[in-house]
Amino acid sequence: MAKKQKFTVYANCQSDALANLLLRNPFFADEYELLRILPVHLLQKKHIPSVREKISQVGLCISQPVSKANGSRLSTEEVADSLQANSDLLTFPSIYFDGYFPHLVPIANMPSIMNNAHDINIMVLNQKGYTASEIFEITSSDDFYTSPLSDTLFEKSIAALQVRENTSSVNITVSDFILAHYKESILFNTYNHPSNKILMHIASRVCETLNIDNSIYAVLNVPEILGAYRALPYVSSFKNLQLSDVIETSYHIEGSNVSHSDIVTALAATYSKHVDEKMISLVGKKAPLVVKNLQKY
């Protein structure tokens, strides 16, 4: 039996999930074994020598673009330099897409029922004095987002992803897959946690590039690997983006289905304690079109 080559995935929280799905393909697993590197966002300067050493051992490195700006991790160029001359380097973009839920933003150091995700609409309406039940009614309306606004927010998020893909000249793109399939199912659990379908698209493209049979990804059905927290588009987003009626209609929080009403209640209680004018100003800069939409309330 031929000796397996080593491979690694040098990326953020999506790295282990992608490696998991690649190894579920028996044809890939027959040729490669994983040499794991910590997710990029967890690396520290002290890890750099060991990361270089690991990368020098692999025959295949699958990497997201990493900037030179952060001295605690290797940049994409440094990763390429650390590889053996005959090793393969495949790249895919940093996968951040909020087209389904443009109102969700990450805010560190503020508690949230949705890990570190926060809902701008609930936050601003709470500060305006609306009760949780009133906020639920407002955000559940099928005309909360107008169709032109939903289209603009969706297109803005796709365009930002395409810019990242083009700027970094990645081998494997994701924006085209989103545009082809976004109506069939929710392709993201949250803005930075893609669904298995996105990850299997990348895994399939990796195998295709390496001339490895990728047919398993057309039938593979496993629980969401990055699905501990799964958000849901608003009712108006469902209508405006023409999403499939068969899509699941509840949030998912650490193994439990949670209603939109309960999400609103939990977040409103948090914002009553932790949000001030400075925070409102910050989210206004993060998502100006979302905040502008709230001026009618």
208-226 pLDDT, tens digit per residue, is: 999 999 999 999 999 999 9
The H or E element spanning position 181 is helix 175-181
**Percent of the chain predicted with pLDDT > 70:** 98
- Architecture of the CATH domain 1-91: 3-Layer(aba) Sandwich (3.40)
Element (H, E) at 105: strand 104-106
Query: How far, in Å, are 43, 63, 78, 79 from residue 68 at the CA level?
Result: 14, 14, 9, 11
pLDDT computed for residue 246 by the predictor: 65
Angle made by CA atoms 242, 245, 247, in degrees to the nearest 5: 105
**Chain mean pLDDT for the chain:** 93
Whose tokens are 């040098």? That residue is: 10
> What would the pLDDT profile of 92-129 be if each residue is shown by its tens digit?
999 999 999 999 999 988 999 999 999 999 999 999 99
According to the model, what pLDDT value does residue 69 have?
Answer: 66
Q: Could you give the count of Cα atoms lying within 13 Å of 264 in the half-sphere of its Cβ? A: 21
pLDDT at site 110 = 93
pLDDT of residue 113: 96
> 233 pLDDT exceeds 70?
yes
The residues spanned by each domain of the chain are 1-91, 94-297
Per the DSSP assignment, residues forming a β-bridge with 7 are: 34, 60
pLDDT for res 1: 60
**Cα angle value 236/241/246 (rounded, 5°):** 85
Gap between the Cα atoms of 14 and 152, Å rounded: 27
Buried b (16+ CB within 10 A) or exposed e, 110-135: eebbbeebbbbbbbbbbbeebebebb
Q: Are 89 and 80 in contact (CB under 8 A)?
A: yes
Question: Per residue in 244-289, pLDDT tens?
Answer: 876 777 899 998 999 999 999 999 999 999 999 999 999 999 999 9
Q: What pLDDT digit, counting tens, does each position of 156-177 carry?
A: 999 999 999 999 999 999 999 9
Q: Are 84 and 30 in contact (CB under 8 A)?
A: no
Q: How far is the C-alpha of 103 from the C-alpha of 94, rounded, in Å?
A: 20
